[in-house]
């Protein structure tokens, strides 16, 4: 089968299309004929070599979520899975393939009316947005700022904050066109990347939901209300300054807090319940799966170039 692996860390040209043996499902696994692969910010970080210290090596196959149809099952798996349309979490890698073996506990049936493309657009990003907001103790009536709102996690955080009763949902983005698209998803205020907006923008926010991190992270503490909470759910802009905590401590009397969030800390049953509800909400038209573009699997370099250039609004999907 065809697969995409990282030959050399760095630019997208370090990715390569290779032939790998067709996998055979082991005990408690299913084999999926992949119809859609979500391209995530984490894939870009891994490919760049930024996460090499975490054990990622050249030869790694990126991709954390796929959707398709189950074609075979391993020992101990109910054969009724065969033929079912599913979404699956492949871990931190292994998804840029034509066929994937996945533990059955990481597989979720797709409801009627939900396409494989939409499922890999919402599957991981929606869960991160939901539990990231929960980690920030977001409550209805609070003002939320989503930093880096044009990516797949950001657009879901905007929609969920609106859906859950935020008093205001501000976003940072790079252009007026993107700002208008985010308003169509429910954003009430559009700010530039530094967090500056018009005179009608809220003076402060109860929650800053941050996908970006990077050098500018400390400046967003100034936009938190007393008792405000910032949660970093990603670091697409790189690591924050090593001394960013001193900025927070300098505002000690405002009782603000900073936290990180990873979906790896959430139990499978809770993740699956939220994903199932969000999939159903997409089918009902209550949430929007924002697909930037669908490319063929062999266009992986183009997909990563677009990610590197910051051109993507929502999610790029690869189709084997």
Per-residue pLDDT of 267-291, as tens digits, reads 999 999 999 999 999 999 999 999 9
Spatial contact of 74 and 25, defined as CB atoms under 8 Å apart:
yes
The per-residue b/e assignment along 281-315, b for 16 or more CB within 10 angstroms, e otherwise, is bbbeeebbbbbbbebebebbbebbebbeeeebbbb
Q: Given pLDDT bands bounded at 50, 70 and 90, which one contains residue 234?
A: very high
213 lies in a domain? yes
CATH code, domain carrying 242:
3.40.50.720
Q: Given pLDDT bands bounded at 50, 70 and 90, which one contains residue 65?
A: very high
**Does residue 290 share a domain with residue 250?**
no
Residue 179 falls in which region: left (phi positive, over 0), alpha (psi -120 to 50) or beta: alpha
pLDDT at 3 over 90: yes
Domain encompassing residue 204: 137-260
pLDDT at 199 over 90: no
Q: Residue 30: which H helix or E strand, with range?
A: strand 29-39
Q: Quote the CA–CA distance of 262 and 231 in Å, as a whole number.
A: 10
Q: Quote the CA–CA distance of 56 and 249 in Å, as a whole number.
A: 34
190 lies in a domain? yes
pLDDT at 197: 84
128 lies in a domain? no
131 lies in a domain? no
CATH code, domain carrying 20:
3.90.180.10
**Does residue 281 share a domain with residue 256?**
no
Spatial contact of 90 and 65, defined as CB atoms under 8 Å apart:
yes
**Does residue 41 share a domain with residue 142?**
no
What percent of the chain stands above pLDDT 90? 92
Q: Quote the CA–CA distance of 106 and 222 in Å, as a whole number.
A: 40
The 3-state DSSP class for residue 305 equals helix
12 lies in a domain? yes
């Amino acid at each position: 089968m065809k697969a995409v692996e990282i030959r050399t860390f760095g630019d997208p040209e370090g990715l390569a299309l290779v032939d790998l043996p067709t996998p055979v499902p082991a005990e408690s696994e299913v084999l999926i004929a992949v119809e859609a692969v979500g391209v995530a910010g984490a894939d870009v970080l891994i490919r760049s070599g930024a996460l090499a210290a975490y054990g990622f090596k050249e030869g790694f196959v990126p991709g954390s979520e796929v959707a398709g149809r189950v074609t075979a099952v391993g020992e101990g798996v109910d054969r009724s899975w065969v033929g079912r349309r599913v979404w699956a979490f492949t871990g931190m890698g292994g998804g840029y393939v034509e066929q994937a073996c996945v533990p059955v506990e990481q597989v979720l049936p797709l409801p009627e009316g939900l396409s494989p493309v939409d499922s890999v657009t919402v599957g991981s990003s929606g869960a991160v947005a939901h539990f990231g907001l929960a980690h920030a103790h977001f409550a209805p009536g609070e003002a939320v700022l989503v930093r880096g709102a044009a990516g797949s996690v950001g657009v879901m955080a905007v929609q969920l904050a609106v859906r859950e009763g935020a008093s205001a949902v501000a976003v940072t983005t790079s252009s007026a066109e993107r700002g208008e698209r985010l308003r169509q998803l429910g954003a009430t205020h559009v700010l530039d990347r530094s967090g500056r907006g018009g005179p009608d923008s809220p003076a402060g926010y109860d929650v800053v939901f941050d996908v970006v991190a990077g050098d500018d992270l400390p400046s967003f503490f100034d936009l938190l209300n007393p008792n405000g909470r910032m949660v970093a759910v990603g670091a697409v802009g790189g690591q924050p300054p090593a001394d960013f905590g001193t900025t927070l401590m300098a505002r000690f009397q405002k009782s603000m807090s900073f936290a990180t969030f990873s979906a790896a800390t959430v139990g499978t049953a809770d993740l699956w319940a939220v994903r199932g509800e969000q999939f159903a909400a997409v089918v009902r038209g209550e949430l929007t799966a924002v697909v930037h573009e669908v490319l063929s699997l062999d266009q992986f370099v183009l997909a990563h170039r677009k990610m590197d250039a910051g051109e993507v609004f929502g999610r790029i999907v690869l189709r084997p």
